[in-house]
Chains A and B, each alone.
Chain A
Amino acid sequence: MDVLTPRSLEQALRLKAERPDAVPIQGGTDVMVELNFDRARPAALLNLNEVAELRGWSRQNGRVWLGSGLTYAEAMERPLAEALPALAEAARTVGGPQIRNRGTIGGNLGTASPAGDALPPLLVCGAEVKIASVRGERIVPLPDFVVGPKRNVLAEDELILGVSVGGTESRQTFMKVGPRNAMVIAVVSLAVRVDGDLRAAFGSAGPVPTLVRAGLGDVDSFPQRVAEAASPIDDVRGTASYRRHALRILTRRALDRCLV
């Protein structure tokens, strides 16, 4: 297995075009699990850790730009955590400190798991994913980016540059249910934002994290609407009926938090 380590974004895109079979790796918290369990043996890894353009975050015209190399630990730090509190709360639920130091937003988008913790907060904040290849750049709204369980719209020569999100400083929160009090994959998760309208996005309750919207007048019926929008399954982590039930409870509590 080759490990390709570009030093710039330009090099990274060129390498990805030359070696479309190279699996991008940043923190490695998903990719290395697959390798260690012998579930994947890619011909090459594209190590993005040395690409400075993918790191950090910035404010841009009232929105926030998050580089794909932004770690969960960075998302928990002020002032970013104050601008995007739901994302910070979601980041806090990811793994242990070591995982949060390594895992990245870009990795969460690349893996596109129904349980990806960063995805519900990004969905309620209107995230747009910026993608690039040697052919050029394109912007895809997050709901269109994730197309199925662990599937996204990336072409084989494309890389995720980052996401642009709005909704900064709005009332928002994130909650995640697991059978222990830290270090769990979400049985079900929920982000809610109240800012002119009601927005909720859930994880682990359907094939993809899903956004639900309603008007401010629909506060009372919103928990039920969110639960009904879900299409959960029974699996080793929980039952479909519990997931639906929990979504109702979480949505009501989240609205209480955001409407005070």
Chain B
Amino acid sequence: MSEATVPKLELGRVGESLPRVDGIPKVTGEFAYSSDLQAAGMLWGHTVRSPHAHARVGTIDISAAVGMPGVHAVLTHEDIPGEKRYGLEFQDQPVLAYERVRYFGEPVALVAAEHPEQARRAAERIRVEYEPLEPLVDPERATEAEPLHPDRPTMGHGYRDDPRPNIVRSLVIRQGDPAAEGDVAVSGVYEIGIQDQAFLGPESGLAVPDGEGGVDVYVATQWLHVDRDQVAPCLNLKPEQVRIHLAGVGGAFGGREDLSMQIHGALLALHTNRPVKIVYNREESFVGHIHRHPAKIWAEHRASRDGRLVNVRVRILLDGGAYASSSTAVTSNAASFAVGPYAVDNALIESTCVYTNNPPCGAMRGFGAVQVCFAHEAQMDKLAEALDIDPIELRLLNALGPGGSLPTGQTITGTLPVADVIRRAAALDVPEAEELPRDPMRLPGGSGNTTRGEGVRRGVGFAVGFKNIGYSEGFDDYTAARVQLHADGSATVHCAAAEVGQGVANVILQVARTELGVRDVALAPHTTATVDSAGSASASRMTWMVSGAVRDACRAALEEWDKKGRSLEVDVERIYRHPRTTPLDPETGQVTGERAHVAYACAAMRVVAEVDVELGLTRVVWIGTAQDVGHAVNPQAVQGQIEGGTAQGLGLALMEEIQTRDGLITNASFTDYLIPTTLDMPPVVSELIEEAEPDAPYGVKGVGEPPTVVSTPAVVAALRAATGRELSRVPVRPDDIVGL
């Protein structure tokens, strides 16, 4: 082999485009996902779910199911040894329904059997007495309806006291003079449908009893330790008796923050003293996790003649569905980012999330910022038109930056190069329109062969968006890492950070190699058993937090080695915390300390779309974006996040929506819940704006969410430019484009 063909072995430090460690096994099909797990003597669990969106639950007769062939356990709420309710932040969700069910698909009973078919057949024999109740499905009427949670689980947590029924949280932000008038005003009402995370790997896991009363749960999740802390009380076990281990995750996007099969699998495993595996099918997966909050947003923007924002007034209504999940934080995010990355002295923002009997909603990539970005960017374009100012100029004129402040009164202390991302995205060359005739695949309608060019109009859209990085409002957020240095010079890192496909395994290794100066670093399995919490793979926080924790642990380990001598094994664990945040004032929505959010990241995007205006079909032709990414730990992985995040936002713009009728999901399949294919998603030109974030280790920032926030409004802006229609609702339906 000549020297030139020997692959150069990089050390794989921070800043290098190191191929993902799990890349080859995933591409070749060797990677074990949570649904691939097996154990000797394993049983299959099955969940009996409510066919009603709202009903009183009477007696549950399991007698016919118990004796069925192969059946080892049939459990109801009566078999739960500990707490009967759980929740990510508020304990409002029954492990198994009692008294009433509040959403379609709510778990009611469990079966474990030797074969999944036996479990399903037994499940069919369970007789649940339901008394159907009128489902509350219109969020605009929720505050006048009978309370779904009379005990008001989110009250008394420092939020604004709102006595209306079915309030999950309401937040009002008042800044300056909310009555301030401008020379020009534009207003609009915007709607966002229910988007699903639509991860390809369904909810699944394996629970294994340890023979001493405890249990090990191997599961695809986003935050191992918070799973443990929810599972243990329901089982009436001590936290250390429940060990959560990360199994292969087939996508998450927020949809695995809440529990799915964890408690159920553990209950069945402890009851039968056998390993129990649960795998949801696709239909079940659509009811097995929370979704992105659908929203209705009323916005009014007032500006001076020269284009400066004077006053922004926004009312946001989020449908939280049946249980709280992380809705209170989504409510706050939607309010914080309602104006967009723009400076304005006067604002009145009201953000309300209500309980209904619709599918429960919670975390999804973009987390409250997605909904409001769709509205504020449409408003900025409207304002540009009303003022006859170029929309990009208008955005530059109002761009927020370091030293500026949000409507919450928080001053931007870190980096936030809004003007920069706008200029860089606007400077990207937009490709010329391709000539006709073309292959139908390169026209709206694609393989459907619907046009040879008839009815096709081209439009260019632009949008800017931003979002916070990390947990907010005083949450004590931390990440632990443990580093072992071995006598042979190699190292092992333990960190419970969930690798959900975002590439955090590489981040951990790259930071460790950078700090230790060795290539031979092993990453131990992600588990609650050997290391403290890493926090959630959420809020674009993991790269920042893990970088800090692994860096600190590596440095401490090297110090220890220097003290003890390098022939000895060293084993240290360190905890990293980001700068502290404080709550918002419950009355004014203003910051009570220096910051309510840790930091921010922004992105600008330009989209070219062709629209068949007669049929309402779209082909997105080109996407160019500039994103504020801090110092990129792994530039190639950053670009991957930008492409994937953009596709998810494009999906919301054009096709992704969970449809319901009286609270029942009517399109729970990938036949009818459509996500973009490669024919719908163009290549993305991405510019990385690498300004080092002063508060973050290595100057990093999170990168996963800004592309999802900004791509939905950018795509719809291109559609508006092509069609001249208002298009105030996403996903945009062919009917909306045609004008039916």
Contact = CB atoms under 8 A, between A and B. Distances in A.
B740 A181 contact: no
A239 B735 CA distance: 8
Interface of A: 36-38, 89, 92-93, 173-185, 187, 236-239, 241-242, 245-246, 249-250, 253, 256-257
Q: Would you call the interface of chain A mostly helix, strand, loop, or mixed?
A: mixed
Given A177-B615, A242-B740, A92 B671 contact: no
B450 A236 contact: no
Given A176-B449, A177-B448, A177-B617, A253 B734 contact: no
Interface of B: 117, 120, 281-283, 441, 444-452, 454-455, 614-617, 619, 654-655, 659, 666-667, 671-672, 674, 676-677, 679-680, 733-735, 738, 740
Contact of A257 (B452, B455, B674, B676): B452
A242 B734 contact: yes
Given A175-B450, A176-B449, A181 B734 contact: no
Contacts of B449: 89, 92-93, 173-176
A220 B619 CA distance: 29
Contacts of A179: 617, 654-655, 674, 733-734
Nearest to B732: A179
Given A179-B734, A182-B447, A183-B677, A236 B654 contact: no
Given A93-B448, A175-B450, A257-B452, A181 B619 contact: yes
B271 to A, nearest CB: 24
B450 A184 contact: no
Given A36-B281, A239-B735, A242-B734, A181 B677 contact: yes
A203 B415 CA distance: 55
A236 B679 contact: no
B674 A184 contact: yes
B616 to A, nearest CB: 8
Closest 10 A-B residue pairs measured CB to CB? Answer: A181-B446, A176-B448, A181-B679, A182-B679, A182-B447, A236-B667, A175-B450, A249-B614, A179-B655, A242-B735
Nearest to B670: A183
A177 B738 contact: no
Contacts of A236: 659, 666-667, 672
Nearest to B283: A37
Contact of B120 (A38, A173, A242): A38
A89 B101 CA distance: 48
B677 A177 contact: no
Nearest to A237: B672
Contacts of A241: 735, 740
A236 B585 CA distance: 43
Contacts of A38: 117, 120, 281
Contact of B615 (A37, A174, A246): A246
Nearest to A94: B447
Contacts of B734: 177, 179, 187, 238, 242, 246
B120 A184 contact: no
Contacts of B619: 181
A250 B450 contact: yes
B705 to A, nearest CB: 24
A200 to B, nearest CB: 15
> Which interface residue of B444, B449, B672 has the most chain A CB atoms within 10 A?
B449
A119 B298 CA distance: 47
Given A36-B281, A242-B738, A185 B615 contact: no
A177 B449 CA distance: 8
Contacts of A253: 450-452, 454
A37 B668 CA distance: 12
Given A238-B734, A242-B734, A182 B677 contact: yes
B740 A245 contact: yes
Contacts of A182: 446-447, 677, 679-680
Contact of A177 (B450, B455, B659): B450
